[in-house]
Structure 1
């Protein structure tokens, strides 16, 4: 792999697309195991430059210059200043909300243009997805001028709070008598908090893009809590984020996440180590013992034990060791450039770990038992745990992000299948800022065969995860001539329709399909979606739907997770077993026959 030249799959581009889909998936999955997406290192360099210059340097310069905590080049002057911490959180929210942080660029399926976010959220007429149907005044799926005003005002209030000078408080001076920078004025945070909620109730995409499940509580703490309570609440927040992510990895899914993530890491130059994460490459690319160790010792154990240690430890050296572990953990994730590329989030969490637990240690009066009231501690902990608990019990009600299942592999997922030529109809959607990703690649000068194989690498990536085996099984069952159809990974594909995705299948569920169908009008049998919900914590199954965009749901059922994780990505022995719980009645038989 060169700086400008990627490692494209070694196939005959003129004949590869004529092969059966199983053969294509096998070839591309084996290539992924050794080279990942094969992205040129120039692309990774662009991301590194964005993080270093725009995010880190830009954020520190703004935070220090507007708070009097500089100079920015002297880290010792500002790393433990509370207002710098607050402003770096605000800076991160602003960039995420605009769309130039996570889920940005070609690694997130944005080729041309590379930015979604504001291009969609500030444009009337684009698709809007409400989170819950029963919330009043949120009906419809079209972004209105009112929605745009809410969103732009949200950005403006974040900017105002970010740029305004600090304000000292008695609680701050009592804790830090020598502090002269103050804190962000609480009154300036009221509007961003309210608009966070209003924008999110109108469009869940904005809320998730701005990572509201993590940053909204932080802004609320900044706005209403006295200084010491604010710091302790922030510790509870980051620990619950870590614990939620760690606990979610207890199931069978996460081991399947590690090998393709390591394979895609530009910081892992040794092909032999990548292959070692698979049982018997190239004959068996299920996860190896090494992958299981990395997943559940290097991942699960770290995220469960270390946060608890940090929350309760009063020994300085134990705290420093825990901080070092979590900083390395986040830097490692950053180095792998995971799909959706949440680099800024990981860098911020590495800094927050140092700021909260080294700058304000439990031994210095900032322990969990030092909050002003135990009832307040209990209320904050309960509030932070509400959505993670609900989301793991009823994943249909809560996105996997508020459920705190980052990187767990237990995601709602989908594959889209288009009859020959039908995918092009998506390009007729009005007010859409970008074309289908296949057409974006054509516009960049890619040959059609190269563009198509590039897109098929994403479905090979999906096949290497547990859900992919079940989803492909459904497609083989419902579409006999699937080899002729166009199959797309929904996480990537929906990016061009709504401007954001972070591996959350709730952003491309029935609501998005209906919104697109209302604008395009696919014929029965032209666009088939196989969609699966996350696995609830108390069940061994995942529930699926087969959806014809023109007809609605045509089948529901479930599969055993154990069956999905125990087969090769390309399903050499055929589809995994499914249990059908409902099928569309015979009145739709002519259309159903078209997909069987």
Structure 2
């Protein structure tokens, strides 16, 4: 195993392994994941740490360009200034919308090239997905135009311009005047993000609007209001994420994430499983970690919101900093590394740098309702109706309860995509063949499927494959996240990007024959239900089956036992044949 070689199991014969049926191919990969994670070479992890260092260095560079800011060696005397938070928000927003943050690189099945972002968002002719199917005026169609590209470039320019501006706007603080960026600089950004979102929800979600759009909009307010609103928003992010973890699925996420950690020793990884290697359901140790994580994410933010003691506030802030540092070291799939760095910076800046500014010290208390109520409504509705709200907008981060999909292509269907759909690099196997050749590319492509199978909902997706296509063993199976990443230029766990709307857009370009592309769509579980609804769709003829599976069944199955899952069919048509 070298610096660029993947971590294959010992004495592993790729050719003999591939001759097995899918369940038998995936079983050893599940056990391999338990000890080695996705199996990426060390060079891939180094790439992420270099990128993370570039993110920190870039942010510091823009802050240093602000007149009046001291040198980096004097950081203790200026890190708490208002402009530092403002430029950190804007820099992180720009980093994300460029595709350099979440959704970047090998840990999101993006190898060649490792970034999507502007390759798609600034290129007319690529697929865009307007919300609500383009029913709103001036949003129809599914092809990116020059107008869309110019709006995107305009957003990047607005962010860049604000990052280069001085902090020449004086405002009242608790202890005298403070200097900030002029609020007028935020207006183009606050306007352009929703405009882009009305044309394409992919760009909108890539900008992480549930955090950075709200934070940028808060910077239109006076300083005391800005701090109060961003403090409230940060606490709501933690509480929303914690609420979504109150389920039986989160321990599976802990398993998958920690098993992929490059720093966790193998003997501890094995303890995450009930009786490794024969029983890989979550152990008591894993459930304890899951419950503790949810308790921390509930308790410490509430303390930060309500505490009037500087000592207690400091302890709670340090707890949340440690919480995000742990996520960083785990290198989770989707790699929200820069976002986690921003969160630990936010905890320090907001609660350690400004401990005497509380939410109630807002200069205009009405702003707390204007910003807070929409966030609370998104969290509540997203948990009750996850089919209608992105898991990002409802802050259901890393809880294991996401909308997902699996796409079944015939070889002729893959050929049509390659000929008629604008995309870079192709699906994961085509990208990996350039680096590793056919056999290793096949193995690594299966590791992406293994990631899905190890979550509870992966059992449902694979159990539904025979219902979607009786010849599924011979079809080309592609994870919906990989499809979105290749065709849309960005993917970060949101199944809303790769469901019927994308299927229809691809069919308009490729004109699939019946059976050439079939898709299993699985919705997230509502917080008040045990059901996860599914749909089976043929790209040429439409939906042909609908039903549900029960989470209580899913969480008791070994990953390779998915064929035993009870499936509850509500509606089916004759189009299932094929």
TM range (shorter): over 0.9
Q: 1:28 maps to which residue?
A: 29
Question: How much does 1:373 deviate?
Answer: 4.5
Aligned to 1:593: 577
Could you tell me which of 464, 477, 483 is aligned with 2:467?
Answer: 477
Q: Distance in 2 between matches of 1:2 and 1:177?
A: 58
* CA displacement 1:182-213 (0-9 Å, x = unmatched): 21111111011000110011111111111111
Deviation at 1:73, TM superposition (A): 3.3
| Runs of 4+, deviation exceeding 6 Å | none
Deviation of 1:40 after TM superposition, in Å, equals: 1.2
| 1:99-498 aligned within 5 A | 99-133=99-133, 134-172=135-173, 175-177=174-176, 179=178, 182-223=179-220, 225-268=221-264, 270-297=265-292, 299-361=293-355, 364=356, 366-420=357-411, 422-444=413-435, 446-498=436-488
Alpha-carbon distance between aligned partners in 2 of 1:330 and 1:481, rounded to the nearest angstrom: 44
Question: SS of 1:398's equivalent?
Answer: coil
Residues 257 and 330, structure 2, Cα contact 8 Å, conserved in 1: yes
Q: 2:152·2:196 contact (CA, 8 Å) conserved in 1?
A: yes
Q: Is 1:18 paired with 2:12?
A: no
**Residues 307-316 or 491-500, more deviating:** 491-500
Alpha-carbon shift at residue 167 of structure 1 (Å): 2.0
- In structure 2, the CA distance between the partners of 1:3 and 1:116, relative to structure 1 (3 Å rule), is same
For the aligned residue pairs, the C-alpha RMSD in angstroms reads 1.5
How many Å apart are 1:70 and its aligned residue?
A: 2.4
Q: CA deviation at 1:368?
A: 2.1
Moved more, 410-419 or 399-408: 410-419
Q: Unaligned regions of 5+ residues in structure 2, if any?
A: none
**Structure 1: tracts of 5 or more residues without a match:** none
Q: TM-score, normalised by structure 1?
A: 0.94
Counterparts of 1:61 and 1:73 in 2: how far apart (Å)?
13
1: CA distance, partners of 2:402 / 2:65? 41
Shift in alpha-carbon separation, 1:4–1:438, aligned structure 2, 3 A: closer
Rounded to whole Å, the distance in 2 between the matches of 1:148 and 1:448 is 36
1:213-272 Cα distance to aligned partner (Å, 9 max, x none): 11111111101x21111101110000000000000000111111011111111111x211
| Distance apart, 1:394 and its partner CA | 1.4
> What's the counterpart of residue 541 of structure 2?
551
SS at match of 1:15: helix
- Supply the distance in 2 between the matched residues of 1:97 and 1:380 (Cα, whole angstroms): 22
In terms of mean alpha carbon deviation, does 128-137 or 96-105 score higher?
128-137
Q: Is the 8 A contact 2:100 2:115 kept in 1?
A: yes
Partner of 1:51: 52
Task: Give the secondary-structure state (helix, strand or coil) at the position aligned to 2:408.
Answer: strand
- Give yes or no for contact 2:151–2:196 (8 Å, CA) kept in 1: yes
Deviations 1:391-427 (A, max 9, x none): 1111121100001001010000111122345334321
Q: Is the 8 A contact 2:170 2:177 kept in 1?
A: no
Q: Cα 1:511–1:566, aligned 2, differ >3 Å: closer, same or farther? A: same
Q: Which moved more, 1:232-241 or 1:70-79?
A: 70-79
TM-score (norm 2): 0.97
Cα deviation for residue 388 of structure 1 reads: 1.1
Assess, with a 3 A threshold, how the Cα gap between structure 1 residues 449 and 421 changes in structure 2: closer, same or farther: farther
- Determine if the alignment matches structure 1 residue 576 to structure 2 residue 565: yes
CA gap of 1:265–1:424, structure 2 versus 1, over 3 A, is farther
Deviations 1:67-97 (A, max 9, x none): 4312123221321011011001100111111
Once the two structures are overlaid, the 10-residue window that deviates more, 376-385 or 26-35, is 376-385
Equivalence for 1:6: 6
Q: 1:424 to 1:279 in 2, by over 3 A?
A: farther
Does the residue aligned with 2:58 lie in a helix, a strand or coil?
helix
SS at match of 1:14: helix
Query: Are the equivalent residues in 2 in contact too, given 1:409–1:465 (CA < 8 A)?
Result: yes
> What is the aligned counterpart of 1:501 among 472, 491, 494?
491
Q: Structure 2: how far apart are the matches of 1:413 and 1:345? A: 22
Would the aligned equivalents of 1:474 and 1:575 in 2 still touch at CA under 8 Å? no
SS at match of 1:369: helix
Equivalent pairs counted in the alignment come to: 576
Distance in 1 between the 2:67 and 2:197 partners? Answer: 30
- Contact 1:125 1:430 (C-alpha < 8 Å) held by counterparts: no
Please tell me whether the aligned partners of residues 274 and 281 of structure 2 are also in contact (alpha carbons under 8 angstroms). Answer: yes
Q: 2:118 and 2:175 mapped to 1: Cα distance?
A: 39
Q: Secondary structure at the match of 1:378?
A: helix
Q: How much does 1:178 deviate?
A: 6.5
> 1:550-579 deviations in whole A, cap 9, x for unaligned?
11111111111111111011116x231121
The alpha carbon displacement at 1:438 in A equals 1.3
- Which 10-residue stretch deviates more, 103-112 or 128-137? 128-137
The C-alpha deviation readout for 1:506-561, integer Å capped at 9, x for no partner, is 01011111111111122211221111111111111111111111111111111111
Equivalent of residue 566 in structure 1, options 556, 565, 573: 556
Tell me, yes or no, if the aligned pair for 2:228 and 2:358 is still in contact at 8 Å.
yes
Secondary structure of 2:536 counterpart: strand
